[in-house]
Structure 1
Amino acid sequence: MFLVDSHCHLDGLDYQSLHTDVDDVLAKAAARDVKFCLAVSTTLPGYRGMRELVGERPNVVFSCGVHPLNQEEEYDVQELRSLAAQPGVVAMGETGLDYFYTPETKARQQHSFREHIRIGRELNKPVIVHTRDARADTLAILAEEKVTDCGGVLHCFTEDRETAGKLLDMGFYISFSGIITFRNAEQLRDAARYIPLDRLLVETDSPYLAPVPHRGKENQPAMTRDVAEYLAVLKGVTLEQLAQQTTQNFATLFHIAPQRLQPA
């Protein structure tokens, strides 16, 4: 079996007391059939640091972007474009809108979001989208910037069935994290039942949002397995079927050669 953690922050894990190094993290993941990771950046210096930390590996690819919560200072859009064009970068982001924590940077967030989509279209790299308390503007900007040209995923989905439908109409993929296992997430489970298997991804968003029964601990790529097991039950399929389909979806969305996502 082959699972992919489609969204993790490998630079955010606890390498002091929980893991010795990236090799250790990836070995723990592989022991639970999580054999490939997309390491997601949230700032441009963070992207550079993560490339240095992780190095070149056959089982890790990268995204390059500036998170909506990191918009206090302006960044160089040309630098974003040039870093995003590097080999090993398969996606733009994470980008998007977050009005919950920093509504005061709304205008800058929107501008940045548009720039990420434009570069994604230019480089033919999909966008990884974060949204919180910004549903209408997120959907509007995706449509206005013609995101269907490059595609994308709404990561760590926390919206409802209606929002899922609008994203699916744009050709988007939808990724579920450990939140799907939380007791009060019934709206999310309803959306998950509705979304077709061929549009689903699984992720940890580690080190955040550890799934039940690990809630409250640091999340890590190995726990993709817990999310996948839970989602398989919700969808009424076997874990093997869910793993095969979500891995295929990941390869399709991020233009990754299927042979890289085969059991060794």
Structure 2
Amino acid sequence: MTKNQWIDAHCHLADERLEAQLDNVISEAEGLGIHFFMQGGVGPEDWQRQRDLAQRYPGKIGLCFGLHPYWVAAHDEDLCEIALDQLAPLLPHALGIGEMGLDFRPHIMKDSRERQIGVFEQQLELAEAVQKPMVLHLVQAHEEALRIMDIWGVPASKGIVHSFNGSWGKAQDFLKRGLYLSIGGPVVWDQNEKLHQVVKDMPLEFLLLESDSPDQPPPRFKQSLNQPASLWDVAGKIGEIRGMPASEILEISTENFKRLFHYDGN
């Protein structure tokens, strides 16, 4: 991968909401130097859409398969076990495992707390077994996630906390366990002072940039679906805070991604 071929460290281009405009979305991103798009996995239906996407856009899609807490919350234990059995043989063909983790917001969690914990623990085991970096989705579950990871151990291949949007104290909890922080659209909002503090103080060797497209748009995209092109907004805000050019922030994130996910651009 040469200079000015940057990476969106986390997005959902297989999301059906983007289907009608996907060629334009990817073309616009490439026009801005963003040429590789790491996906976030949701469940078996999404895994298939990701594989179709990789065939449609060869060399541009990073596959990532996992059982998202949303999916776990919406399916019973038997279906989760079936999906976990389907997940394991796919992982050798993926760059990472995830999204995986916990989401304890009441409207998501409902009766799924213990089921989410069980599936998270099994995916921690899988991550260790296949030596793939994790893509963690953790919402209102910081302490429980740390407790579980400290019991089971953070897999040697480490991973990212996707769309990190917490305090500096929470950031340090993940950083000291060797996990990267993936920062997206929320950092661009002027009122998000706690996240501004995080990107000001964190070591840049643990920084990744993501769009989470089509979700979590920065202000410029708030009236529409988010796009990987918004990575420039994220890089610009972090660069402003750190006193660095946006292009340098993008370059740092891309190099960090390549190191973490053992991705060589091919």
Q: TM-score, normalised by structure 2?
A: 0.90
Q: Which moved more, 1:54-63 or 1:244-253?
A: 54-63
Quote the Cα distance in structure 2 between the aligned partners of 1:53 and 1:238: 32
The corresponding residue for 1:57 is 58
Quote the Cα distance in structure 1 between the aligned partners of 2:136 and 2:188: 21
Deviation at 1:28, TM superposition (A): 1.0
Quote the Cα distance in structure 2 between the aligned partners of 1:119 and 1:252: 21
Aligned-residue Cα RMSD (Å) equals 1.5
Match of 1:15 among 19, 30, 33: 19
Match of 2:190 among 155, 179, 183: 183
Q: Note the alpha carbon deviations across 1:122-149, whole angstroms, 9 max, x for none.
A: 1110110011111101111222221141
The corresponding residue for 1:2 is 5
Task: Answer yes or no: is 1:27 the counterpart of 2:32.
Answer: no
How has the CA–CA distance of structure 1 residues 103 and 170 changed in structure 2, closer, same or farther, with 3 Å as cutoff? farther
The corresponding residue for 1:138 is 145
Deviation at 1:97, TM superposition (A): 0.5
Instruction: Please show how residues 123-202 of structure 1 align to structure 2 within 5 Å.
Output: 123-202=130-209
Counterpart amino acid of residue 150 in structure 1? S
Q: Note the alpha carbon deviations across 1:122-178, whole angstroms, 9 max, x for none.
A: 111011001111110111122222114120100101111011111111110001110
SS at match of 1:28: helix
Q: Note the alpha carbon deviations across 1:7-47, whole angstroms, 9 max, x for none.
A: 0001114333xx1x4x4322111111111110222112211
Q: Note the alpha carbon deviations across 1:220-256, whole angstroms, 9 max, x for none.
A: 1111111111111112222232122111100011111
Q: Which moved more, 1:196-205 or 1:34-43?
A: 34-43
Counterpart amino acid of residue 193 in structure 1? K
Task: Answer yes or no: is 1:80 the counterpart of 2:87.
Answer: yes
SS at match of 1:153: strand
SS at match of 2:14: helix
Quote the Cα distance in structure 2 between the aligned partners of 1:221 and 1:198: 22
Counterpart amino acid of residue 9 in structure 2? S
Any conservation in 1 of the 2:162–2:183 contact (CA below 8 Å)?
yes
Quote the Cα distance in structure 2 between the aligned partners of 1:97 and 1:107: 10
Task: Answer yes or no: is 1:46 the counterpart of 2:46.
Answer: yes
Q: Which moved more, 1:162-171 or 1:72-81?
A: 72-81
Q: Percent identity?
A: 26
Deviation at 1:196, TM superposition (A): 0.9
Quote the Cα distance in structure 2 between the aligned partners of 1:145 and 1:232: 36
Instruction: Please show how residues 209-224 of structure 1 align to structure 2 within 5 Å.
Output: 209-224=216-231
Deviation at 1:114, TM superposition (A): 1.1
Task: Specify every segment of 5 or more residues in structure 2 that has no aligned partner in the other structure, as ranges.
Answer: none
Quote the Cα distance in structure 1 between the aligned partners of 2:145 and 2:200: 23
Counterpart amino acid of residue 221 in structure 1? P
Counterpart amino acid of residue 32 in structure 2? R
Q: Which moved more, 1:70-79 or 1:166-175?
A: 70-79
Task: Specify every segment of 5 or more residues in structure 1 that has no aligned partner in the other structure, as ranges.
Answer: none
Task: Answer yes or no: is 1:90 the counterpart of 2:95.
Answer: yes
**Higher helix proportion (structure 1 or 2):** 2
Any conservation in 2 of the 1:177–1:204 contact (CA below 8 Å)?
yes
Counterpart amino acid of residue 94 in structure 1? E
Quote the Cα distance in structure 1 between the aligned partners of 2:145 and 2:201: 21
Q: Note the alpha carbon deviations across 1:42-61, whole angstroms, 9 max, x for none.
A: 11221112211331621221
Q: TM-score, normalised by structure 1?
A: 0.91
Any conservation in 2 of the 1:148–1:171 contact (CA below 8 Å)?
no
* Over 6 Å off, 4+ runs: none
Counterpart amino acid of residue 152 in structure 1? G
What is the total number of aligned residue pairs between the two structures? 253
Quote the Cα distance in structure 2 between the aligned partners of 1:104 and 1:191: 33
Q: Note the alpha carbon deviations across 1:63-116, whole angstroms, 9 max, x for none.
A: 00111011132322221101222x2x1111101110012142111111111111
Quote the Cα distance in structure 1 between the aligned partners of 2:232 and 2:61: 17
